[in-house]
Structure 1
Amino acid sequence: MTATTTPVTATGPVVARRVPVSRAYRFELVKLVSQWRIRLVVLACWIAPALFVAGVSQQSTLPSDTLFGRWMLATGWAGPLVVLGFAGTWALPLLTSVVAGDVFASEDRLGTWRHLLVAVRSPRRIFLAKSLASLTVILLLVAGLAASSAAGGLVAVGNQPLVGLDGHLLAPGDAAGRVLLAWLCALAPTLALAAIGLLGSVALGRSSMGLLLPVLVALAMQVAQMLPLPVAVRLALPGYAFIAWNGLFTNPAQLAPLLIGVAVSLAWAALATALAYLLFVRRDFTNPAYDGSGRRAITVGVLPLAALTAVTVGAVAVATPSTGSGIEQGKVQKSLATVFAHLYRLQTEQLHRPAVTEAQLRTSAACTKSDGQAAQEGAGNDWRCVVSWHLPGVAVTGTAIYQLDITSDGRFVADGDGPKEVNGYFLVRTSTGDAPNPLWQFDGNVDLLDTH
Structure 2
Amino acid sequence: MTAALTRSREQEPEQVTGGRRVPVTRACRFELVKLVSQWRIRLLVLACWIAPALFVAGVSQQSTLPVDTLFGRWMLASGWAGPLVLLGFAGTWALPLLTSVVAGDVFASEDRLGTWRHLLVAVRSPRRIFVAKAVASLAVLLLLVAGLAVSSTVGGLLVVGDQPLVGLDGHLLAPSDAAVSVLLSWVCVLAPTLALAALGFLGSVTLGRSPMGLLVPVLVSLAMAVAQMLPLPAAVRVALPSYAFISWNGLFTSPRQLGPLLIGIVVSLVWAVVATALAYVLFVRRDFTNLAHDGSGRRAITIGVLPLVGVAAASFAVVAATTSATGSGIEQDKVQRSLATAFAHLYRMQTDQLNRPAVTEAQLKATASCNKGSTRVAAQGPGNDWRCVVTWHLPGVEATGQAIYQLDVTPDGRFMADGDGPKEVNGYFLVRTPDGDAPNPLWQFDGNVELLDTTPKG
Q: TM-score, normalising length from structure 1?
A: 0.96
| Alpha-carbon distance in 2 for matches of 1:193, 1:406 | 28
Larger mean CA deviation between 434-443 and 326-335 belongs to 434-443
| Contact map agreement 1:6 1:15 (CA 8 A) in 2 | no
Q: 1:228-273 deviations in whole A, cap 9, x for unaligned?
A: 1111111100000000001000000000000000000000000000
Structure 2 counterpart of 1:128, one-letter code: V
Q: 1:281-328: CA deviations, max 9, x gaps?
A: 000000010000111232320000001111111011101111100000
3-state SS of 1:370 partner: coil
| Partner residue, 2:211 | 208
Q: How many residues align?
A: 449
The 4+ residue runs of structure 1 with deviation greater than 3 A are 3-9, 12-15, 428-434
Does the Cα contact within 8 Å between 1:402 and 1:417 map onto a contact in 2? yes
Residue in structure 1 matching 2:175, options 167, 172, 175:
172
Name 2:329's counterpart in structure 1: 326
For residue 368 of structure 1, the aligned residue among 371, 374, 379 is 371
Q: Give the one of 240, 254, 259 matched to 2:257.
A: 254
- The answer to whether structure 1 residue 427 and structure 2 residue 430 are counterparts is yes
In the other structure, the counterpart of 1:346 is 349
TM-superposed deviation, 1:83: 0.3
Structure 2 counterpart SS, 1:367: strand
Q: By how many angstroms is 1:433 displaced?
A: 6.9
Equivalent of 1:387, from 386, 390, 393? 390
Residue 130 of structure 1 is aligned with which of 109, 129, 133?
133
Output the amino acid matched with 1:331.
K
Q: Do the aligned partners of residues 430 and 302 (structure 1) sit closer, same or farther apart at CA in structure 2, a change above 3 Å counting?
A: closer
Describe the SS at the equivalent of 2:450.
Answer: coil
Residues 210 and 168 (structure 1), Cα distance of their counterparts in 2 relative to 1, 3 Å cut:
same
Percentage of identical aligned residues = 77
Q: Distance in 2 between matches of 1:94 and 1:390?
A: 50
**How many angstroms apart in 2 are the aligned matches of 1:432 and 1:335?**
28
Q: Which residue identity lines up with residue 129 of structure 1 in the other structure?
A: A
Question: Bigger CA drift: 431-440 or 96-105?
Answer: 431-440
- Spell out the pairing of 1:19-38 with structure 2 (5 A cutoff): 19-38=22-41
Q: Measured at CA, do residues 14 and 273 of structure 1 come closer, stay the same or move farther in structure 2, by a change above 3 Å?
A: closer
- 1:434-445 paired onto structure 2 within 5 Å: 434-445=437-448
C-alpha distance 285-431 of structure 1, shift in aligned 2 (>3 A): closer
Secondary structure of 2:418's aligned partner: strand
**What is the TM-score of this pair, normalised by structure 2?**
0.95
- Residue-by-residue CA offset, 1:378-430 (whole Å, 9 max, x unaligned): 00000000001110111111110000000001000000001110111142367
Question: Do the aligned partners of residues 426 and 280 (structure 1) sit closer, same or farther apart at CA in structure 2, a change above 3 Å counting?
Answer: farther
Distance 1:433 1:276, change over 3 A: closer
Matching of residue 6 in structure 1 with residue 16 in structure 2: no
Deviations, residues 12-68 of structure 1 (Å, cap 9, x unaligned): 999721111011101000000000000000000000000000111111111111100
Q: Return the match for 2:234 from 213, 231, 235.
A: 231
- Residue 53 of structure 1 aligns with which residue? 56
2:398 partner amino acid: A
Residue 434 of structure 1: how far off its partner (Å): 3.9
Tell me whether 1:222 sits opposite 2:229 in the alignment.
no
C-alpha separation in 2, matches of 1:418 and 1:330: 22
Does the residue aligned with 1:178 lie in a helix, a strand or coil? helix
Structure 2 CA distance, aligned partners of 1:407 and 1:87?
19
Checking the alignment, whether the CA contact within 8 Å between 1:350 and 1:430 is kept in structure 2 is yes
Give the aligned partner of residue 399 of structure 1.
402
Partner of 2:340: 337
Is contact 1:7-1:14 (8 Å) kept?
A: no
